[in-house]
Amino acid sequence: MTASAGGLVRAGSRVLADALILGLWVVFLTLLFLETNWPRWGFYGLLLGGVTIYVSVTTPWLGTRD
């Protein structure tokens, strides 16, 4: 595999992993808020907060390009 093909596979797997993790977060919050009947603003606050924390935690994994 060439470097560009390897990078493409890595990027594709990263996108799929991110989509899976964030999708599971949305499903978890949706089921939790439907079960407990908590307010909608809380749902969106936790949704946005969870995505923000996820992005801030995973960004250093990418590293820098030289």
Residue 44 lies in a domain: yes
Residue 30 lies in a domain: yes
- Ranges of residues in the chain with a pLDDT under 50 are 66
Number of domains within the chain: 1
Residue partners of 37: CB distance under 8 A and separation at least 6? none
Produce one character per residue of 45-56: b if its CB has 16 or more CB atoms within 10 Å, e if not.
ebbeebeeeeee
| Cα-only R_g, the chain | 16
Residue 61 lies in a domain: no
Residue 10: the pLDDT is 84
Cβ pair 42, 33 in contact under 8 A: yes
Boundaries of domain holding 21: 5-56
Residue 33 lies in a domain: yes
Distances (CA, A) of 45 to 16, 21, 52, 54, 60: 24, 18, 10, 14, 24
Residue 27 lies in a domain: yes
